[in-house]
Chain A
Amino acid sequence: DAGVIQSPRHEVTEMGQEVTLRCKPISGHDYLFWYRQTMMRGLELLIYFNNNVPIDDSGMPEDRFSAKMPNASFSTLKIQPSEPRDSAVYFCASQLAGAYEQYFGPGTRLTVT
């Protein structure tokens, strides 16, 4: 299995632009998680899905952030408009229902100038 796939690996954009991060979970996994990692706050859960349905989005920082999962093999995290404080590494992870292991993708490093 290829593991969790994220794209792009690096994104540099200007303040005010729309940014879309993409994730393909491990095939057959029922849960998908989006995390953000910064030096100041560490790793934070933003939102997670179960069977493509958002379950908990309480970690999404503002209305500028939105996430979708149109099917079992694809999810997006969108920031519109982006701000410099959104600069971070964004991780996607997936997990099989009933299992205990959560597998992470390589992350997308976002820089907003």
Chain B
Amino acid sequence: GEDVEQSLFLSVREGDSSVINCTYTDSSSTYLYWYKQEPGAGLQLLTYIFSNMDMKQDQRLTVLLNKKDKHLSLRIADTQTGDSAIYFCAESDSGGGADGLTFGKGTHLIIQP
């Protein structure tokens, strides 16, 4: 079945860049997403990328997709304390709503002062 894998924890110093990695197994994945979850809150959509793209940049966020290796990464530039959260990678075969999302277990981003 479909599977999305992420490392459980990532620790970075404030001001450095954070790179959160994700691998997926479903070769028919068409849309890949990054969500952020702060303690006690719901999931906030950060960005998404189509499988025919290699890169997408949005302010401090850069998403890189290696479709051959089924590897997705999220880079957060100039990491701040407010970036401390759990980051979820998710995939969909049909971003138009034909199915739900398959999520990874999430990566806890820990910011060191």
Contact = CB atoms under 8 A, between A and B. Distances in A.
- Indicate, yes or no, whether A interacts with B: yes
Contacts of A93: 43
A14 interface: no
Contacts of B42: 4, 91, 104-107
B45 A45 contact: no
A101 B48 contact: yes
A43 B103 contact: yes
B33 to A, nearest CB: 8
Contacts of B102: 45
B82 to A, nearest CB: 18
A95 B43 contact: no
Given A31-B97, A100-B95, A42 B45 contact: no
B60 to A, nearest CB: 19
Interface residues of B, number: 21
A99 B100 contact: no
Q: Per DSSP, are chain A's interface residues mostly helix, strand or loop, or mixed?
A: strand
Given A100-B95, A103-B45, A42 B101 contact: no
A15 interface: no
B113 interface: no
Nearest to A92: B42
Interface of B: 31, 33, 35, 41-45, 48, 88, 95-97, 99-106
Interface of A: 4, 30-31, 33, 35, 42-43, 45, 48, 50, 56, 59, 91, 93, 95-107
Given A31-B97, A43-B88, A104-B42, 12 more contacts: A33-B101, A91-B42, A95-B97, A96-B97, A98-B96, A99-B96, A101-B45, A102-B101, A103-B45, A104-B45, A105-B42, A107-B42
22 contacts: A30-B97, A33-B100, A35-B100, A42-B103, A42-B104, A43-B43, A43-B101, A43-B103, A45-B100, A48-B99, A56-B99, A91-B42, A95-B97, A97-B96, A102-B45, A102-B97, A104-B43, A104-B45, A105-B42, A106-B41, A107-B41, A107-B42
